[in-house]
Chain A
Amino acid sequence: MKKYSIIIMAAVLTTACTKDIEYKGPDSERMLIVNSITGSGDVPVLKVSHSAFFLDSYYRGNAIKSGVTVHLAINGETRAATYSDSLYGFTDGRAITEGDIISVYASHPDYGTVTASDTVPYAQDITFTERTREFVPAKTMSELFDDYVYDLDQESVDSVWVTDLDILGNGGKTDYYMITIEPRMTWFMYDDYEERYDTLVKDIHYRIPAETKVFLGQTDATTAILEDTEADSQFEYRKQSYIFDDLYIRDGNKLSFEFVMEKPDTLGWIYTFDEKNLESGSEPHSIADKIKDEVIYTLDVKLYVLSGAYYYYHKSVKDYGDAEEISFLSEPVTILHNMKGGAGILATYTSKSFHWERSYKFK
């Protein structure tokens, strides 16, 4: 040890060192948390918990089921909310509808009192129209979509389906929107062990035409509709959500989406089953006792109208999640909430859905 002492001393004195310190900053008291995000027509469920100090051992599992007073008011009528084991939260059983003003009051002797209110927005008056056509693209699917998904067919395709979807606005203007787009394909593979057909789902691609920016009637449509994509990238894959504000969906304006779906006889990714493991096949084929010769294409589009409180909360939570992926050096994100005296969210929204479905049999 003696022969190392000089080396160690020199290293310790001349290099970096750490020490544990005491936290002396603000916000060290644990807070009451109330979370509720409810759609029009549903029953609000208030998830009550307390926060954990950042030096605590556990951050999760702090749900509060008793010892807390929770009141919910809808259009001024206040009722006590009780805990429901099946819903994992407090509720008074009343559903909300468009235009309702809801308020919450919750109090706990150790974590304080919180209050919040929100107004259920009115649904946007819109019309969904679609038309489906078929054409043969000049490029392969990989060239069309330009991404790293290995299961796309490397060969040129025989034909594709294209479904154009327009969302036409009729009258009115609201402030905060979200659109979710989810095109999928369902196919069926027989499971020898379970002795049944398993339903397997694959995400597929879609494209937002550049003309959509013009139809939105905004000066900077790129920011509004293509928030999660680069302006020049037109293809998206699997479910996507777009949240935006200041969108004026009015008569004559429309959002357009183009769904490019590879027809089954050109698919190169259908899994085949052999005795050892699952492998991707080079040619699609239907084995009568393994894969059904039917696939179902579905398209689900949902247009949400959000309350202001929810819009800001949703944006900040998404930013927080993106920042956490590269937490080192990421700028901190303020979660914007409306819960006074604590944290959480009391938010409402309305939505309108569009569903399209088509089945296709293998040759």
Chain B
Amino acid sequence: MINLEGPIIKGKTSFNISARRTYSDILLNSAIWLNKQFDFANTDDLSMGYYFYDLNVKLNHKFNDNDRLYVSWYSGDDDIYFNYRSSGGAYKEKTRLNWRWGNTVAAIRWNHVLGPKLFMDLSANYTQYRHKMGIHIKEDDKANNYKGSMGINMKSGIYDASFRSDFHWSPTPKQDVRFGGSYTHHKFNPDVMELSMNSRETMDNDSVQTNDFNQTFGSKNILAHEYQLYAEDDIELTDVIKINIGAGYAGFSVNDRYYNSLEPRLSARFLVTDELSVKTGYAYMTQYVHLLSNNVINLPTDLWVPVTDKVEPEHSHQWALGAAYSVDGLADFTLEGYYKQMDNLLEYKEGSTYMSGDTDWQNKVAMGKGWSYGLELMAQRSVGRLNGWIAYTWNKSQRRFDRPGMVINGGRTFDAKYDRRHKLDITCNYKFSDRFDMSATWLFETGNCGTIYTQYYDSELLADEKDEQYQYTTTLGYYENRNNFRLNPTHRLDLSFNWHRKLSERVNRTLNLSIYNAYNNRNPFLVYVYTESYYRGDEWVEERTLRQLTLFPILPTLSYSISF
């Protein structure tokens, strides 16, 4: 990781540039390369691995006391790759598998003081989410005069350009008013599949036979416009009662269809004593972009899709109630509960697949309802050498899809994919001295849900199969309820050590050692059934075990920063 931060014009312009990249794939491919050097018979090339990188650039400029400009740019990608090339003999093969997803965010913001009580922020933003999965195979068979290639590319993305204005007005010392609006131009590319199959073969009679097939399936770009206006007022009614009341208006235009909604919100805080306060709140929200998650696998195959003339916006009501208690000089304690009700949630229909790009995604989805509720308890200490927090959350999230033609799980209620019942977060920071400090974070979370067919049984011939000449039945899988299986809980310890040193009057350096998953716990990424088949005498045996895949074991990071 590299981070550079400092002034360009003292007191006016400053910059911050940071970049980082993981290195586990470099180590793996180095091991593969070394192994190849000692294996003289193997002339094949192989490289594979996973890495992620991100790049962050920020620029701030102060024109005067009333005008500031902020420019930022972020780009990051995750990449899983597998490249294989055989190089020996008359037959050559090249296989490339690539799975890449990432974001780019660019923003420019102008902050202007309109008056002693009125501030304004104007910003222009561009965001991009991209996802691409591809397999490409090339063959060159000199012995049979054949050359061919096959490729599949799956792509999706969402590209937004927006303009936003926010105003902050404080008419009285006990009142803060915020209002503003935004416009966003969306371009959705939910799922596109590109298929290509090309071959060239020289026949015995020297004629050349070529086959070319190139086709693109899937949804075309969907363009949409989103408008938002909002206003909220933070009012100190009395010394003990403070309320925030507001409303938003949102409109979404897509495919000659216009959706709009009024979104009220209200929250209140009651100061029972100087140490104890109680707060409550309600909000109604509408969402015009859905997250479509694949239920089977915990990989970035989630799609962001817009509402359309067939797919309606998601609505939710949320209620919250909580209390905060502060022990002066020691810690702050909060307890908060919430209940959220959602409608028009989106899930893939049963049997549909992310991979089938030849079907419009709107025909692959079902709409239903959901609800979630939970409790969070937190204790936080911000002062002293030892500080940090302990946070525990219990929550439950469920779904039901029972609309005609959109039934999932037989219309019965089931746990949501991201229903993770317990979460515990313990973070400690300790400053031993001005030259050395450390932090430790221990995280525990219940595993994700997934569906496993737990039983298999023979089917019966269907009515239209009974008069077939060749009859055979299949084996059907059974599960009592969707998302019936939970992965093992995840837990890990992250450590960070900082050594500070003053190199000169103006130059300081910090050496940081961070260890992700310090005790190398094998947290589950996904589970699958592993089958080992073999002959035991004359008997064909299939032994099955449930196997868990872990992606990130212990991962140390070293960084060196200099400030001047």
| Interface residues, chain A, with chain B CB atoms under 8 Å away | 4, 7-8, 10-11, 13-23, 25-28, 30-31, 33, 35-37, 39, 47, 49-60, 62-63, 178, 180, 223, 241, 302, 304, 306, 310, 314, 316-317, 319-323, 326, 328-336, 343-345, 349, 351
Contacts and interface: CB of A to CB of B under 8 A. Distances in A.
Interface string B146-165: 00000000000000000000
Contact of A349 (B455, B463, B488, B544): B463
A207 to B, nearest CB: 20
A21 B488 contact: yes
Given A26-B484, A47-B460, A55 B529 contact: yes
Given A37-B460, A223-B405, A330-B296, A57 B527 contact: no
A178 B481 CA distance: 28
A330 B455 contact: no
Nearest 9 pairs of A and B residues by beta carbon:
A35-B460, A319-B351, A323-B351, A51-B455, A27-B454, A14-B24, A59-B456, A51-B457, A332-B451
Nearest to B475: A59
B327 interface: no
A241 B31 contact: no
Query: Looking at chain A's contact residues, is the secondary structure mostly helix, strand, loop, or mixed?
Result: mixed
21 contacts: A4-B35, A7-B30, A7-B31, A10-B31, A15-B27, A19-B547, A27-B480, A37-B462, A55-B529, A55-B546, A62-B458, A178-B464, A304-B463, A316-B350, A328-B296, A329-B294, A331-B294, A332-B482, A334-B410, A344-B457, A344-B460
A245 B50 CA distance: 48
B320 to A, nearest CB: 33
Contacts of A317: 459, 462, 474, 476
B353 interface: yes
Contacts of B455: 27, 30-31, 51-54, 343
A37 B461 contact: yes
A331 B348 contact: yes
B296 A331 contact: yes
Interface string B532-564: 000000000111111111110111000000000
A33 B457 CA distance: 7
Contacts of A326: 353, 355-356
Contacts of A23: 546
Interface of B: 24, 27-28, 30-31, 34-35, 49-50, 294-297, 301, 348-356, 405, 408-410, 451-464, 466, 474-482, 484-486, 488, 520, 522, 525, 527, 529-530, 541-551, 553-555
Contacts of B356: 326
A330 B410 contact: no
Nearest to A17: B550
A20 B532 CA distance: 13
Given A62-B457, A344-B457, A344-B460, A11 B31 contact: yes
A26 B488 CA distance: 14
Nearest to A346: B460
A202 B415 CA distance: 49
A25 B350 contact: no
A332 B296 contact: yes
B295 A331 contact: yes
A18 B548 contact: yes
A129 to B, nearest CB: 23
B365 to A, nearest CB: 10
A332 B454 contact: no
A54 B452 contact: yes
Contacts of B35: 4, 7
A322 B351 contact: yes
A330 B475 contact: no
Contacts of B454: 25-28, 53-54
Contact of A16 (B451, B459, B481, B550): B550
Contacts of B296: 328-332
A15 B49 contact: yes
A37 B545 contact: no
Given A63-B458, A332-B451, A336-B410, 8 more contacts: A7-B35, A19-B548, A25-B484, A55-B546, A59-B456, A314-B463, A331-B348, A335-B476
B454 to A, nearest CB: 4
B24 A15 contact: yes
A233 to B, nearest CB: 12
Contacts of B547: 18-21
A332 B545 contact: no
A31 to B, nearest CB: 6
Contact of B457 (A14, A320, A343): A343
B485 A323 contact: no
Nearest to B545: A20
A19 B353 CA distance: 27
Given A317-B459, A329-B353, A331-B295, A55 B476 contact: no
Nearest to A302: B464
Most-contacted residue by chain A among B31, B354, B451 (CB, 10 A) = B31
A322 to B, nearest CB: 6
Nearest to A36: B460
Contact of B478 (A11, A21, A31, A36): A31
Contacts of B530: 18, 20
B479 A27 contact: yes
A19 B479 contact: no
A332 B480 CA distance: 12
A188 B213 CA distance: 37
A108 to B, nearest CB: 14
A349 to B, nearest CB: 5
A58 B34 CA distance: 43
Contacts of A19: 522, 547-548, 550
A35 B553 contact: no
A22 B546 contact: yes
B236 to A, nearest CB: 51
B546 A330 contact: no
B476 A26 contact: no
A39 B458 CA distance: 20
Contact of B553 (A17, A20, A306): A17
Contacts of A31: 455, 457, 478
A57 B488 contact: no
A301 B97 CA distance: 47
Most-contacted residue by chain B among A28, A51, A56 (CB, 10 A) = A51
Given A16-B549, A54-B456, A331 B31 contact: no
A78 B548 CA distance: 50
A256 B354 CA distance: 35
Nearest to B478: A343
Contacts of A344: 457, 460
Contact of A47 (B355, B458, B463): B458
Contacts of B542: 57-58
A332 B479 contact: yes
A277 to B, nearest CB: 17
A26 B548 contact: no
A13 B457 contact: no
Nearest to B555: A14
Contact of B463 (A8, A58, A310): A310
Nearest to A313: B462
Nearest to B347: A331
B546 A26 contact: no
Given A35-B460, A320-B351, A16 B541 contact: no
A21 B480 contact: no
Given A25-B452, A39-B463, A320 B543 contact: no
Contact of A320 (B349, B477, B548): B477
Contacts of A20: 530, 545-548
B97 to A, nearest CB: 13
Nearest to B409: A334
A310 B455 CA distance: 21
Contacts of A306: 463
Given A51-B456, A59-B456, A320 B476 contact: yes
A328 B354 CA distance: 10
Nearest to A242: B464
Nearest to B460: A35
A345 B473 CA distance: 14
B352 A13 contact: no
